[in-house]
Structure 1
Amino acid sequence: MTGLRHIKRQRIHEAISMAAITLFLERGFGEVSVAEVAAAAEVSKPTLFKYFATKEDLVLHRIADHQGEAARVVRRRGPEEGPLDALERHFLAGLERRDPVTGLNDHAEVLAYHHMVFSTPSLAARLFHYMAMDEEALAEALAEGADDLTAPLLAGEVLAVQRVLARRNWRRLAGGETAAQAYPEAVRAARHAFALVRNGPGDAGASGGAAPR
């Protein structure tokens, strides 16, 4: 029964989310009420809020699906792989498979989704809430091999790098490039960005260095 109950909850969760995002993309986030979303998903408004704490979460749960991902990458890396190497490898793999979280996905709905998130102040503010939790989780993972100052500083840098790269990729696609056209530059930019984190601005072009990997 527990398994069936979980499946039912997942279906309701997905139905609410799909109804919400469809309406928001058609009419705009600010033009659609929570009551309209509930009606479209055929649930009551109180039921909707059992699944999503805020209106913004109706949109951002797709990003929340990646919650704690960076921390998991660090913890699951091989014994010979440094945390930054693992995080860079993971981001590059995301670019290759066109993971929307990297910004390098030119599906029309994904582009519209990112535009809505980046151009809506309340969504952007709520996104930072999720990022703060991600940063804390990554700092905890990094603290297992670094001191209590280095770990949070490095976590903040890495997540800032991922955020800037994702928005940069999205802007290139929004400007008319295809994901295939933008991919080589996206890889170059990612490698450059992680080199900056490792070595600092003076050695940004270096492939290695004395800094932690």
Structure 2
Amino acid sequence: MKMLMQKHRFTLIELLMVIAIIAILMTILLPALKNVREVAKKIKCLSNEKQIYLAWTYYCEANNGYLPRADTTRWGAPPAGNLKWQQIMRDELFPAVKLSQWGYYYWDQKGYLACPSVRDHKSPYDSFQFSNYGMNYWGIGGCGPWASKTYTKITNIRFPSMQIGFGDTADMQTYGHYVYGYSGQVKFPHLNLTNVLYDDGHAEPKNRSVLAGMSSFDNAPWGNP
């Protein structure tokens, strides 16, 4: 009877086996949980782009249908000192774009111009800022090469459901009103996907292979047909 009443204790080998099983389960589950978080961030990013679309349409309505330029310079001109579309559309983008007490505009790192999948946001109190979204420089931005057509009004857009207006971007840096770089490069922060917003307001993720061959100045989704 005394032996039956003794409590069973884990041996060292059994304890190590339990730890090993837990480690294996964590190895399997953690990547899946990370993917779930990234999918949620991708959905939030798509929502951000829809907000940008609304601001863009508000700007066009307030300016008799005229499109905001991606950049206030022309192709090949030095980028420093130019106004970007975020600064041109600052009233429509508020509160994502704010005016600091020192007199320069900055993108709120908690606003909808900040992609949730990008970690390198600068402090809103620092003059140097990185915008996580860019406008199509060749298309609606009106700043493409001389060989490309330039759209000046929203009614000029022939195939809005096919032409990219905005998307995830990187490397576009500002210092107050000064801009260093153009609209930036396309970035793929969502599990190797990039979110793109079309001129009709719908947004969807794209992979590198889909965008790689789309480089014509005269055709959608980048250029103006």
TM-score normalised by L of structure 2: 0.29
Higher-strand-fraction structure:
2
Larger radius of gyration between Structure 1 and Structure 2: 2
TM-score normalised by L of structure 1: 0.30
